[in-house]
Amino acid sequence: MTPMKKNIFLIGILATCASVVFSQQKSTTATKANGTNAADVNGKKVYTKYCLTCHQADGGGVQNMNPTLIGTSYVLGDKGAIIRIALNGFNDNVEINGQTYSNKMPSFAMLKDKDIADVLTYVRGHFGNHADAVAPGEVAKVRAAMNK
């Protein structure tokens, strides 16, 4: 193979690889935007089963009972804190944006780490929220620390 043909061949391979990588990234982004990746589907399923009744379909909660999940520091802030709430439940009055919420939230420690991670990721990435995902390993780490 001549040097020119070799260069053209290599450029062709690089272009093909770049095309494949770009299409995979584009597909992943589209999947996330459409809410159809596996973690997002599972997060919505867990939310619908365990969270929707109190926090509502739009994440807005119920005035003076169940807090909103929209734009609040406890949802968007420290992942460890929201993981502990999911695992322990929550029995304190909490004030958010001038509203006091007092309804007890049960523990969801019976859920698998992946289910908790998926639902928290769903909440942190929906209802107008834009926060990092929660990984099952992060849930496992917090659970282990709580069980010491």
Q: Over the stretch 131-141, which tens digit does the pLDDT of each residue have? A: 999 999 999 99
Count of CB atoms within 10 A of residue 146's CB? 12
Q: Are 120 and 79 in contact (CB under 8 A)?
A: yes
For 3, 11, 22, the CA distances from 8, given in Å and listed in that order, are 9, 5, 21
Its pTM stands at 0.74
Strands (E), 10-123: 94-96, 99-101
| Residues 6+ positions from 49 with CB-CB distance below 8 Å | none
When pLDDT is cut at 50, 70 and 90, the band that residue 122 belongs to is: very high
The size of the chain, in residues, is: 148
pLDDT per residue as tens digits for the range 90-104: 998 888 888 888 889
With 0-12 / 13-18 / 19 or more C-beta atoms within 10 angstroms meaning exposed / middle / buried, residue 108 is: middle
With 0-12 / 13-18 / 19 or more C-beta atoms within 10 angstroms meaning exposed / middle / buried, residue 133 is: middle
Lowest mean pLDDT among 1-10, 27-36, 116-125: 27-36
